[in-house]
Structure 1
Amino acid sequence: MALMPSLNPRIVEALYAEALGLAETVRVRFERLRREVAAQVDPQDDEDLRRVQISCEALRTTTRVMHCLAWLLNHRAHFAGELSELQLRRHGRLIANFPASEADVVATLPDDVRALVMESERLYQRIQRLEQAWRQANLSGDSAVRRLRERLASAVESAA
């Protein structure tokens, strides 16, 4: 049932716990940042752009972590026998080109929030590398189609 030597249930569980914790931390911290910015707004100033930028970065960061969680949940389901490898390969893909954070906006965030954004990007990159290696291992390794062809060829040889 192992997908590849470097991807196993322990790694998936550890990454899942990390991603779950990060998701909650990101949610709480961006919510607090929104309240802080709202409290600083002078009714005479137009701070709508700043609030929109923070909301967009919060959404982008949270979504990035949620995509990681979805990928990990699919792999947990596979290891638990709830998803076949075919189902996992068809429906368990990570988005390859997830929109990057806007560097100029991230630069204006408080240090701890900026660190959370960077941590979410690193997690996503790690999951991307795992997925690429996992998919590549199956291409070069023992595929179901190749095994079926070998069995068919063996059956034809036996019948002849």
Structure 2
Amino acid sequence: MTDNPYAPPEATGGTMTGDTRLSPPLWNPNAAALWCLVFGIMFGSWIHMKNWQAMGKPDKAAASKRWLIGSTLLFIVSFALAFAKPESLAGSFGRFNFFFSLAALLAWYFISAREQIRFVATTYGANYQHRSWGTPLLYGLLVLIGVGVAGAIVGFIMTVANRAA
């Protein structure tokens, strides 16, 4: 037996029922993986981390947090390299960046995301409290806009600096 009110039914000696009150509020982990195609691995790993926390799985949440930190560092390095050598984006660096990012996304999916997708499907099925996507999608959009604005500002500053030199 467990003290977690949202523990999987087998942990409490029960069976899965249609009562969504027996589950924690979760974002659909499969949808989180799909939204990564728009917002990147950082988005999905954050959603999955929050889901693991809600399900009382701190070790799994910590693993998702490592993916979040790693993907954030990867993004920062990629962003910085794009501005350090912008002419290379159309060439081999751009292709490398695309394929490396795609490989990282696939690695995250098969190493981390798929586990949560399967866990939620086998533990709760479709009978869990579905969290609204409004706030996370709004934050994802704001981050994309912020990155675009930051990129435009850095690009403008670099253009002005190059002309002055």
Please tell me the TM-score bracket, short chain as reference: 0.3 to 0.5
Rg larger in 1 or in 2? Answer: 1
**TM-score of the aligned structures, taking structure 1 as reference length:** 0.33
